[in-house]
Structure 1
Amino acid sequence: MVKKRWVGLVMLWAVSAVGKDMLPPPECNIKPTQAVTTPAPVNIDQLIQDLNALTTSSRIKMLKAETLRPVLQQIFDTSHVNSKLQQFYRLLNVIAENSLADIGMGVQFDVTSARKILVTAKVFQDPAFPAHITKIYLVSTDSIPQYTVSFDKAVQFPLNQGKGFKSWDDGYCQYAKELVFEPQFSFKMKESRDGNLKVYKFQGVDLYGDFGTRGVVDVSLRYVRLAEVEFIKNTNLGRVKAYISKKEFQENKHNALLRLVSQIVPNTSLQAIDW
């Protein structure tokens, strides 16, 4: 077991080291840290109105949203580089941190008012996507909020209006095409002292596309599982930790060593991240 792990680590290092020296083709001459999208301007007054209307499923008021105007203006400020994805998670974190309801016991949102907030905040390029959400549950344990989002079915979410995102890394054109959500999707979040937001313990979501490495060993993948993302404040960048998804091994053939190593060694990177 130890020997296999050591061999796997050396193989991964070799693939990365050789792959990074390769030159990208013209259609994929994009660095992982280049900006890819620009969030749309948000009507803060309307967002505050919608947040004020947010209640639990038992009609308990969730927020005094007018007090949140400064932090909302900062989240949706278009004068600095940002991403819709980061805005989405930061908005959810603000709701959790300022909830009037007792989230220590767990609360279920009124889904209609919650959907309206997501549409007003323009955190999805497809405004029809929130219609798939059937339930949002929030609970906080030791001041760590955890959201569980339920959908009406498994949902495929095309990235960048179906165009996806391409970047050159590890000697290969990494092409992220869509997020694949299971009927239930959950995550935890925590803001650090430097203002970065860490979202982690993802469950029920995979990234689908064309991924891999080229070098000493060639690996081609279709499904990647996000483990955590640390969103860097006032940028569109995130420190991403990801593993090969179990679904990859269910649907595609790979050797046993890759399966073993994939559960031990994550892929980590600093990159522009959005949806």
Structure 2
Amino acid sequence: MNKQTQSIKLPARPPSALPVSAGIGLKPEHFTPLLETRPALGFVEVHAENYMVAGGPFHHYLQQIHEHYALSVHGVGLSIGGSEPLDEAHLDRLKTLIERHRPERFSEHLAWSSHAGHFMNDLLPLPYTRERLQRVCDHVDRVQERLGLQMLLENPATYVQFSASTYAEPEFIGEVIRRTGCGLLLDVNNVYVSAINHGFSSQAYISALPCNRVGEIHLAGFARDSDAQGAPLLIDSHDAPVADEVWRLYDYALQQTGAVATLLERDANLPPLTTLVAEAQRAAERLRMTSLEVAS
């Protein structure tokens, strides 16, 4: 394939890096216990769209929590993978949020969620074609230009694939990173879910990514189901502890990336904060051992 060659573009102001430690997704249920107990966590992460308001308790608590923990802002509504231009009003609200809280990281998904003025409450897959590659690169360039910082792009969890695709997903992601200068958010659970759903090697997928550009890793739980033919179907549900298979894949990923800030995602069936912190500490111990291995 004759691929377009472009030089790497570097954003104007890369954010401060997250500490090489483990963090949790911040939910309102955590606000008070987190401030009262201040557990050993490296950072917290919030969904940008939950904070796109002028004031209120979310901003009040986030400001206090950010005084003690690094902050990662994770977008779910930019529709980076969509075929239409970005929603500039949404991007303006995101800019306001970034300037208000000055997070150490910002990330978004390689997916689309809006079309023709309609918003779908889901992160939908896209065809990996030359035309869509250019569109995604244009969108990433615009986001980095508007925010004035480097973003991380997250690999998706998918349940269908497009016959029109001419790039493998890791190749497509690598091209976006090379052309735009963005970084990679490696969601290990998403890799495992997609690998089972589509029948490919999760380790080979990770090895094909530009692992030296990983700025954050996500871990989460999944739900088990089956498709119409009875084949296994995994759902990226974020409502359960991290599965043993995903922990093993995380160990493999750390061999490729080195120690990288790692987030434990939990969006439903929330357990007590102490349970989430304990799970995060499993990741923190793996990060510690990875750093020691590199040092030796």
TM beyond 0.5:
no
In proportion to residue count, which structure has more helix? 2
> Quick check: which one's strand share is greater?
1
